[in-house]
Amino acid sequence: MRNPTALAVQPGTGQLWAVANERDEIGPDLVPDYLTAVKDGAFYGWPYSYWGQNVDTRVQPQDPQKVASATRPDYALSSHVAALGVSFSSPSMGNQFADGVFVGEHGSWNRPTPAGYKVVFVPFSEGRPSGPPVDFLDGFIGEDGKTRGRPVGVTVDSRGALLVADDLSNTVWRVTAARQ
């Protein structure tokens, strides 16, 4: 696995999950950063292939046996979002955010159109990612294109609120469910 940047243990299962930043310089839309269950003994392709068995032809010498054994990650985030944090949600965040993970996306440095710069929620069902990511906390890039924040670490505190470390503004944001 290339550059796994954050780990989280799934409640109730003990399954270890990681977010990973994939390789650069293949283009603005390749390769997706990802969220995956970490499987004992699994090989995730680095450096020979990406997203399973997609060969990175820049790597020499090639190793077809390694590529053939590469495990495809469970869930693609967008390319170059720089996923740097992951935390399982809490039912206290409301029904929409009760089962899944929060991912802190620090943001791209190598795309003509910036990607990331937000916290997304990846819904789970039956212990697995089950739908598209939902923007949970954004607005870190203004309409003027200026970056005002870059989410890094995310964690759920003991009262069920999401804490988000922002290393541009040197702020820790605390996000709670709306009171009804």
pLDDT per residue as tens, the chain (180 positions): 999 999 999 999 999 999 999 998 898 889 999 999 999 999 999 999 999 999 999 999 999 999 999 999 999 999 999 999 999 998 888 889 999 999 999 998 888 889 999 999 999 999 999 999 999 999 999 889 899 999 999 999 998 899 999 999 999 999 998 765
**What does the pLDDT look like over 51-75, one tens digit per residue?**
999 999 999 999 999 999 999 999 9
Of 90, 98, 138, give the one whose Cα is nearest residue 114. Answer: 138
Q: What's this model's pTM, rounded to 2 decimal places? A: 0.94
Q: Is residue 89 part of a domain?
A: yes
**What does the pLDDT look like over 90-112, one tens digit per residue?**
888 888 999 999 999 999 888 88
Q: Is residue 8 part of a domain?
A: yes
Q: Is residue 56 part of a domain?
A: yes
Residue 43 contacts residue 69 (beta carbons within 8 Å): yes
- Here the CATH number for the domain that contains residue 119 is 2.120.10.30
Total structural domains in the chain? 1
Q: Is residue 75 part of a domain?
A: yes
Q: Residue 135: which domain range?
A: 4-175
The mean of the pLDDT values for the chain is 94
Alpha helices in the chain, H assignment, sequence order: 64-68
Q: Is residue 86 part of a domain?
A: yes
Angle at 41 between CA 70 and CA 130, to 5 degrees: 65
Alpha-carbon torsion angle 131, 102, 46, 37, nearest 10: -70
Q: Is residue 180 part of a domain?
A: no
Burial of 161 (0-12, 13-18, 19+ CB in 10 A): middle
